[in-house]
Amino acid sequence: MKNSNNNISYFFVSLVTLALLVSCQEVVNYDLDESNKILVIDGMVTDQPGPYTVKLSLTGPYLKNAPTNRATGATVIIRDNTGNTDTLAEQLPGEYKTTSAFPKGEIGRSYQLYVNYQSKVYTASGEILPISKVDSLNYKYHEESILYPENGYYVTMYAQEPSGKGNNYRFKFIVNGFFSNRSDRFIVVNDDFVDGNYITFTTPFPVALGDSVVLESQSFTKAAYDYYFALLFQMNPNGFFDAPPANLPTNITGGALGYFNTVAVGYNGIRIK
């Protein structure tokens, strides 16, 4: 009988607690300013054959999960420091591409972007810097451990880092033609601690037998490194007490977000067999 009374008391307390929790619920409607849309510019010139693309979009409401609005009808111009100038054609809404008249990007040249959207002007510039040559790729099977998150084949890159600090890189491992933007596959580094050394780097994720892996190496300016490093930090927060997300640094003047990148690119490939 005593146990029965305890069960009844516990059940009664649970019902009261649930009722209090339900009665304390409140629907909060956020009155956010949705009128202040900011232009976002995403553009790149490389030392690979064009065309080169500049994408323009507008920021959207923070709490609405909807596609971003494309910025159409803009005037977009790219020029280099040797006098080549091209007015990009809007081939898709908000997507502007260089014409066949614009020459392939070259290491050592600097490039300027000019965007006129709704009578507001935005500019950016950058130089294509040399890239370190990757000697080779290799792979080895590893069991799951502290160093390797799961069983599988891990690909290692071997390269000579040139002397002289200030080199910045991004490495993209493309598996079977697919690149994942997961934070553990978003690799941005500089030469602060490896300047002039022979370096190796192993993928932080495994691949499988039969997979083809292509390493795309990119050289960065220091400003581009700061942008992508900040992006990586926001993609991979460390805990509850992290600072709230903020706008990323940019090389674009005029109040737009995004980045205009100028990079040299190298490719190496290997098949796991």
Which domains, ranges and CATH numbers included, belong to the chain?
39-127 (2.60.40), 134-245+265-271 (2.60.40)
What's the pLDDT band for 231 if we cut at 50, 70, 90? confident
Each residue's pLDDT tens digit, 64-110: 555 678 999 999 999 999 999 999 999 999 999 999 999 999 999 99
pLDDT at 78: 98
The Cβ of residue 215 has, within 10 Å, a number of other Cβ atoms equal to 21
Token pair listed for 263:
């990079």
What's the pLDDT band for 245 if we cut at 50, 70, 90? low
What's the pLDDT band for 238 if we cut at 50, 70, 90? low
Spatial distance between the Cα atoms of 233 and 215, rounded to a whole number of angstroms:
22
pTM: 0.77
DSSP state, residue 52: -
Burial pattern 160-182, b for ≥16 Cβ within 10 A else e, equals: ebeeeeebbbbbbbbbeeeeeee
Each residue's pLDDT tens digit, 42-55: 999 999 999 999 99
> Which residue intervals of 1-143 are DSSP H helices?
2-23
Each residue's pLDDT tens digit, 99-150: 999 999 999 999 999 999 999 999 999 999 988 888 899 999 999 998 898 9
Token pair listed for 193:
């601690």
Q: Listing from the earlier edge strand, what are the strands of the sheet with 198-202?
A: 134-142, 152-160, 198-202
Prior bond of 130 cis (ω within 30°): no
